[in-house]
Amino acid sequence: MASRLRRRKRSPWGVTLLLLLVLIALTYATVRVYFRPPEVKTDEPVMSQRTDTSVPTEDLSDEEAEALRSHYERKPGFYTILVSGVDDGNGGSDTNILVAVDAENDHIYGVSIPRDSKAIINGKNRKINFAYNSGGMELMAQTVSEQLGIPVDYTILVNLRAFQALVDAIGGVDFYIPVNMDYDDPYQNLSIHFSKGMRHLNGAEALKVVRFRHNNDGSGYGSEDIGRMQTQQDFLKAVAKQTLTVGNLTKLDSFMKIFQQYVETDLNVGNLVWLGSEAIGMGAENIDFATLPGDWKSPYIYLNQAEVLAMVNEHLNPYVEDRTTEDLNIPS
């Protein structure tokens, strides 16, 4: 039976991204690093993908050429950033979230892309997280861009070890584990054994909790990745709350080293500082997250084109004009 993926208020890597950006901003602000907003990339991949290349632009009428330019006119101060989370190369990017930063209207919105979403990668049907293994962040960003009909301006790749290191740096986190966890995977040298209830977790324990999908006997959340996502969301909110305290200001150097070791991005330091300061200025009430809507039918999640289009136009679209169904490329 198909099951609907519901929208959620928080996404774990979205929270991690914003947390790291804030920490970067605070750290570099103390040494007065020059910061500036990212540049909007002029080579619009989506425009070239959607334009009929068989018709030279010089053969278009003035009205047609103007309509084409208007369709791809960018909003001021609007950026899209794809954040992906990987675990030491043990698979594809299990977590992918497209973050839209609307600096003009003081809002940040992130949409989590289910890893099992159906996508066409190198001409074949694949789960979307395969794109990272096949072509790294470049192919991952291209695949997301093609499906949603909007550009991915920048990318951030975060290793899960950053999560573990951050939890240890703040002295661990008190967290209510929502289910009994009893799982062993000798191939990954992974053993997860926790009882339901409140517990103080160190970094290694926290990483196990957020990786848990099901028990050895198949029981657990009942909806593996959706249940895991909710636990990740709840835990990262606890981490963010504990990290952003006055007492942790003395640990900014440690936070910076974690970022340098475990995060790869094509944003420069000045851009990160600017984005971090923007996030601080907007406040938590202006930062929201959701999940791309779709239905599960083994082996894929099939994205709902109409609902995705509405979400793109409401929250993710960096263009002045709304996108249309012709702009999206969601496989059926």
Do residues 200 and 177 make contact, with C-beta atoms less than 8 angstroms apart? no
For residues 213 and 152, the model is more confident at 152
pLDDT of residue 20: 57
CB-hemisphere CA count at 13 Å for 286? 15
pLDDT of residue 23: 56
pLDDT in tens, 240-258: 677 656 576 677 678 778 8
The Cα–Cα gap between 232 and 186 comes to 23
pLDDT of residue 173: 92
pLDDT of residue 131: 94
If pLDDT is split at 50, 70 and 90, which confidence band does 31 have? very low
The Cα–Cα gap between 140 and 131 comes to 5
pLDDT of residue 105: 94
Amino acid letter for position 189: N
If pLDDT is split at 50, 70 and 90, which confidence band does 168 have? very high
Residue 9 has pLDDT above 50, yes or no: no
Query: Tokens 């794109």 correspond to what residue?
Result: 131
CB 183: neighbour CB atoms within 10 A?
18
CB-hemisphere CA count at 13 Å for 168? 11
